[in-house]
Amino acid sequence: MREIKFRAWDDVKDRMLYLGEEDDIVFEFGGSGIVATDITEDEPNFKTLHHLIYLQYTGLKDKNGREIYEGDILKRTVTIIVYGLGKPPEDIVEYMRVEYREDYAGFFIGERPLFDYVDNTHDVDTGCRCTKPEVISNIYEDPELLEASHANE
């Protein structure tokens, strides 16, 4: 059976919250989805945390066994070999964003399903060798990783 797990980005305190691991916040499923409550807060208006951004576990793990969540940034190295030109192989580091696509009801990196990348040592588009991806951060804590990646295109 698929494990359903979530984490939440707190954009007020700039920290990631893991459901079931927080001592000061209780997560419950309500009629409109997940509801987070700060049990240390005395002010009723601030008890419910409406500002959280919820991110779902994909059910997949990276090369180190770390769980991959929606919003994660994965890193891999693709080795480009151009035959016939006498050039040495070139390693290109890629940073990839994991996102949930409503139109396909699944987790994707760009236009490709996430599972095309996990446990794969050949790039699906070029056939070049590559490392298996690893989670290095997420889009909320290190968005500049993706910006730097696109600047090289």
Domain residue spans in the chain? 6-151
Beta-carbon contacts of residue 115 (< 8 Å; ≥ 6 apart): 60
Q: What 3-state class would DSSP assign to 44?
A: helix
Could you tell me the pTM of the whole model? 0.86
For residue 101, how many other CB atoms are within 10 A of its CB?
13
Q: Report pLDDT digits (tens) over 1-25.
A: 778 888 999 998 899 998 777 778 8
Q: Which of 59-63, 83-87, 125-129 has the lowest mean pLDDT?
A: 83-87
On average, the pLDDT of the chain sits at 88
For residue 98, how many other CB atoms are within 10 A of its CB?
24
